[in-house]
Structure 1
Amino acid sequence: MPAGTVKVNLIGASAIKDSEWIGKGDPYVVIMCGKREVTSNVAKNQGSTPVWNQKFHFYVDDSDTDVQIKIYNENALQTDDIIGTTTISLSDAFSQKKLPVTQYTLEPRGDIGLQISYTPKVKPAVRLTQSFPGPYGSQTHSSPYVQAQPEAKQDGEYFTGHYGQHHGQHHGSSTRY
């Protein structure tokens, strides 16, 4: 797969294990793509049917081929419980560029709703210039046919790249631009 940006739109989950004895669970998601990791917001008291509606961008290189999802239940006094996992191949996203919202099966139970898209990295074009002697000294001519492409815009969504502790020992944090 060529380098580019993978966008994961985290919608919500259903039928996941609610590991709370009293009240409803506080699930959150850790998404890993390649060596990068982001953590969603905690869905406080949403139990087995949490909704996040968050978007994350991952800058990927040639070796990144899947997205790993882990759902945890946040615990105040203990280590957070892992309550569901899945690994999603990015091959369909690479060929189709944007997948519809899809329910992916979690182990040991439940589903997670995601929309995944892929945008290949566009190499900036180089403006061609040519110098030639003229009656008033050397002159430079720029080609109007080659234009540089802008970098991926930062539209208020979450981008990976800044790491730190967020919900204990298992997770990195994401940065909002």
Structure 2
Amino acid sequence: MSKISGIQGQVLQVTVVSGKKLRDTEMFTEQDPYVCLEYANSRLRTRTCKDGGRNPVFGEKFQIPLVEGLTDLNIVVWNSNTLRQDDFIGSGRVQLEKVLLQGYDDSSWPIQTRNLKPAGQVQLVMQISGTSKKQKPSASAPHAAPPASPYGPPPPPLGYPPVAVNIYPGAGHPPPGAPYQPYGQPYAPPPAGYYYPPPAGSYPGNYPPHC
């Protein structure tokens, strides 16, 4: 069962172009073929191609309303007779999947006798009404860019506070060739009444006391 859906209400345009190498049902004269199309409740017939023989040309167009779930049609080819019943040439089934998916199909379809022997071909050009010739499924058009928002971008989500950048120079040696900074002003002299301590290792003459 076909999985194609959504065809209800669409119109299938079928052009019966020609017959090719049809089985000949006449012994002494050229046969007069015509083609019948059968789909759902539709029964359509081409004109009779007088003396068309094995390669008749029709070039007739028909419009067939599609029915949900029906994805094939039957073709039946006959030879028209005046004084007796028409001769059956052959029949075949036409699959509609390609035209339903791509919108267009130009193919020749084989027909067979009732004994399943080859009886020639029928060329059909089929198109879904409203589609262009040989239309193929196209890639989706790129979406237009959305209009710029008048608002600025939202703030970033809350998280850990950013790590403060250390603005002090790192410890280490000064760069090569950089002179040391001069020291500040020398210390002021001690105030009056202050005396310098004696040199290390020396004591006043009376210290320590003698035993």
The answer, yes or no, to whether TM exceeds 0.5 is yes
1:28 maps to 34
Alignment TM-score, normalising by the size of structure 2: 0.54
State the AA in 1 paired with 2:80: E
Which runs of 4 or more aligned residues in structure 1 lie more than 4 Å from their structure 2 counterparts after TM superposition? none
Q: Does 1:103 align with 2:113?
A: no
Distance 1:115 1:39 in 2: 16
Alignment partner for residue 92 of structure 2, among 75, 78, 86?
Answer: 86
Q: Answer 1 or 2: which has greater strand percent.
A: 1
Following superposition, the deviation at residue 115 of structure 1 comes to: 0.7
Of all paired residues, the percent bearing the same amino acid is: 24
Alignment gaps of 5+ in structure 2: 113-117, 131-211
Following superposition, the deviation at residue 109 of structure 1 comes to: 1.9
Structure possessing the higher relative contact order (Cα contacts under 8 Å, 6 or more residues apart): 1
| Alpha-carbon spacing, 1:48–1:83, altered in 2? closer, same or farther (3 Å) | same
Alignment partner for residue 5 of structure 1, among 6, 11, 16?
Answer: 11
Alignment partner for residue 19 of structure 1, among 21, 25, 28?
Answer: 25
Alignment gaps of 5+ in structure 1: 121-177
1:65-80 mapped onto 2 (5 Å cutoff): 65-80=71-86
Number of residue-to-residue matches in the alignment: 119
Q: Does 1:55 align with 2:65?
A: no
Distance 2:107 2:58 in 1: 15
2:48 maps to 42
Following superposition, the deviation at residue 83 of structure 1 comes to: 0.3
Which has the greater radius of gyration?
2
Alignment TM-score, normalising by the size of structure 1: 0.64
Question: Any idea what SS the aligned residue of 2:55 has?
Answer: coil
Distance 2:87 2:19 in 1: 16
Following superposition, the deviation at residue 64 of structure 1 comes to: 2.3
Distance 1:65 1:37 in 2: 16
